[in-house]
Chains A and B, each alone.
Chain A
Amino acid sequence: MAEQAGLRVGMPLTKAHALVPDVLTMPADPMADSAALERLALWALQHYAPVVAPDPPDGLVIDTTGADHLHGGEERMLTGLVNRLGASGIFARAAVADTWGAAHAAARFLAAPVCIVPPGAAGKVVAPLPIFGLRIPPETVTGLHVLGFATIGEVLAVPRAPLVLRFGTLIGRRMDQLLGMVHEPVDPLRAPEHVSVRKVFGEPIGAPETIGRYTAALVGDLCKALEKRSLGARRLDLLFHRVDNSRQAIRIGTARAVRDEKRLVRLLCDRIETIDPGFGIEIMDLTATLAEPLVLQQKASSLIEEAQADLAGLVDVIANRIGARRLYRLAPVESDVPERSIQRIPPLAPDDGMTWPGRWPRPARLLARPEPIEVMALLPDHPPAFFIWRGVRRRVQRADGPERIFGEWWKRDAELSAVRDYFQVEDAEGERFWLFRSGEEQQIITGAGRWFLHGIFA
């Protein structure tokens, strides 16, 4: 709105008044802005990756190393992040790149709201972007403009020494950071309410066994700290500060609040192999980024009933390895359309004992999309005499049907009169298939009367 009216950031107020006479103005509040940015960073810390920091005045920097696979890959993670922020009224743009500098420039100045810079291509992608993206003070930008530089690529191409002589060493360092020639660690944000323990080593450590031993010691300390506050960990971040001033991180999540030392150590030690200690680790830092109240409960003991095994530990181990969204239970949905009769629920959701109606047989395998087949069938509602699927002709020996399923008109207008007539057929070899005809041949309004194969029985 404001941009369409011609208003820009940094415009004098009188000029804005001249453009839009009834413009609504509010005094800027940088303190509140930075506090809100910090809150946003804490939210991202709990949901996305162990290393998150605010990048004032208007950005967040997230080190996604080793965290993207839990969100379905880089692209899905970024799209999800932008959409979730958009849903709460924040217009966001995101980019993933090798370096903080490249991601900073790409997120702010590339047209696409979501951008993934391929590894090693940072220099090429950011070259046409304006020099504002170089994270240098405004005076330096003005100075470079006076000299005739407009894009980052132009600055990167000229000899470094004269620039450094005129503008100081910062510009050289920023260029190196952008290209990944100088390491730039992200200082992770931690909130005061986070329970955190830390171990500083006199001599750097590197062997996986040593790391495992100290991890167990740290988890012990953390669990004691959590117990004092009656909390259980839902998400733990273990940060390794290496001697070469870079950081590596492990994040684990649990389905329920946990304070069991053995389980947490197991989950963390499972992922130690992903850590590259380099020349050694000098600090280990374990934080419960997400903790929930956990009070001790007495278990009801019964002599008759067998106790249900607790699967939370197994669910956590698998979820941390392959991602929590790949672990689910399937629950019935009240819909007759086969594709819509299933929903995914969390693996530890309470069992309500609901199941699918068992009146009609359902195939063991359901094709992702019904595949068109060629059939010969008598009208109006006889099962096919034979059908050709994937180039194989099968003669139908026995058949059962039709089972009519109506479209759900309350979902889409197009389904108002759509019908499917399902048949269960058995071919000469005894293989069984689930076929359907969409619509009736006589009444064109219900569908084209084409045949499809939708599932395979035993």
Chain B
Amino acid sequence: MSAFAASAVVADLRDRIRQFDGRAARDRVVMPFGVPEIDERLPGSGLALASLHEVCGGGNDAVAGAAAMLFAAGIAARTKGQVLWCLTQPDLFAPALAQAGLAPGRVIYVEAGDEKSLLLCFEEGLRHGGLGAVVAEVARLSMTASRRLQLAAEAGGTLGLALRRFRHLKEAATFDQPTAAVTRWRVSAAPSSPLPVPGVGRARWLLELTRCRSGAAAEFDVEATDAEGRIAFSSRLADRSPATVPWSFGASA
């Protein structure tokens, strides 16, 4: 009896130590991208659910955040349940979200008046626990605020995506400042591969994993989200793999 009690105490202590040294984070439930090259770089081979992730656009997109938004929408689309989308500027065009796999019936928008109430709504959504993902278009994210959000995401078990939208290009330098987010992504547009006929093919992104807790930074060349919210790895080799079907809107819709 006493041996059983002792083992329970030891197990409890082990559990607590795992909480302290961040190993618990590694054992969390993850959502793989479905792209082996990206997944093998992430701890647990996937994007940790129940935690906060940061996404920012690169170059001129740091202000508009269009590519970053589609990347976030693709991740949110692959979760289960409703998605809360907090924003301050209502310039988001919902049909694009639908084309990234996020059906209009799944998204609830919150148009907050200022950054402070935006962060409050973000935290509220993460803490609720019934949502699949919460996306917030924030300009500033301090260490304290991101720590709160991270704890809220852990408590609610919800995926949080902070979509950084800077007000001007100069402010984009603050993306280097530390936050409590588990991973941090920068999405920049890259020239797409030419098609054999005139036209525009599937967009291509340079996806930089600039920070990853208990993992290393990495860069990937990817093709933009498709109608199911999936990204694909694009090799810069001269010959594309024969299995790759040229992407078209009609086929996926």
Contact = CB atoms under 8 A, between A and B. Distances in A.
Interface of A: 306, 308-311, 313-315, 317-318, 321-322, 326-332, 338, 341-342, 347, 351-368, 397-400, 424-426, 428-432, 455-458
Contacts of A425: 200
A308 B106 CA distance: 11
Contacts of A367: 91
Contacts of A455: 93
Given A322-B113, A327-B109, A329-B105, 4 more contacts: A317-B124, A338-B93, A355-B103, A428-B191
A363 B110 contact: no
Given A309-B131, A311-B130, A458-B224, A366 B108 contact: no
Interface string B42-84: 0000000000000000011100111101110000000011101
B209 to A, nearest CB: 18
A331 B104 contact: yes
Given A355-B104, A456-B64, A458-B67, A321 B125 contact: no
Given A429-B191, A458-B189, A309 B120 contact: no
Given A318-B124, A356-B98, A332 B191 contact: no
A316 to B, nearest CB: 11
B94 interface: yes
B11 interface: no
B105 A352 contact: yes
Nearest to A428: B191
6 contacts: A321-B120, A351-B106, A362-B93, A362-B95, A364-B96, A365-B65
A70 to B, nearest CB: 12
Contact of A314 (B103, B128, B201): B128
Given A329-B109, A353-B105, A430 B70 contact: no
Contact of A398 (B65, B105, B199): B199
B200 A326 contact: no
A358 B130 contact: no
Contacts of B113: 322, 326
Contacts of A306: 80
Contact of A327 (B110, B189, B250): B110
Interface residues of B, number: 63
A297 B216 CA distance: 52
Contacts of A365: 64-66, 69, 91-93
A318 B67 contact: no
B199 A458 contact: no
Main secondary structure of the interface of B (DSSP, over half): mixed
B189 A359 contact: no
B117 A310 contact: no
B253 interface: yes
A430 B190 contact: yes
B19 interface: no
A363 B81 CA distance: 25
B242 interface: no
Nearest to A314: B128
Nearest to A434: B93
A358 B99 contact: yes
B27 interface: no
A330 B203 contact: no
Interface string B120-159: 1100110011110000000000000000000000000000
The residue in A310, A424, A455 that gathers the most chain B C-beta atoms within 10 A of its C-beta is A455
Contacts of B81: 308-309
Among B82, B93, B192, max chain A CB count under 10 A is at B93
Contact of A432 (B111, B187, B189): B189
B6 to A, nearest CB: 39
B181 interface: no
A311 B249 contact: no
A359 B107 CA distance: 21
- Name which of A315, A331, A355, A360 has the most chain B CB atoms within 10 A of its CB: A355
Nearest to B165: A365
B25 interface: no
B194 interface: yes
A322 to B, nearest CB: 5
B158 to A, nearest CB: 10
Nearest to A424: B200
B93 A432 contact: no
A314 B189 contact: no
Given A457-B203, A458-B205, A347 B250 contact: no
A358 B96 contact: no
Contacts of A315: 108
Contacts of A366: 91-93
B104 A330 contact: yes
A426 B117 CA distance: 36
Contacts of A368: 91
Nearest to A318: B121
Contact of A456 (B66, B108, B201): B66
Nearest to A431: B189
Contacts of A322: 110-113, 117, 121
B246 interface: no
B124 A310 contact: no
Contacts of A355: 98, 103-104
A329, A358, A426, A456: residue with the most chain B Cβ atoms closer than 10 Å: A456
A311 B190 contact: no
Nearest to B130: A309
Given A318-B124, A352-B105, A458-B67, A432 B203 contact: yes
A399 B200 contact: yes
B98 A347 contact: no
A329 B205 CA distance: 29
A458 B152 CA distance: 30
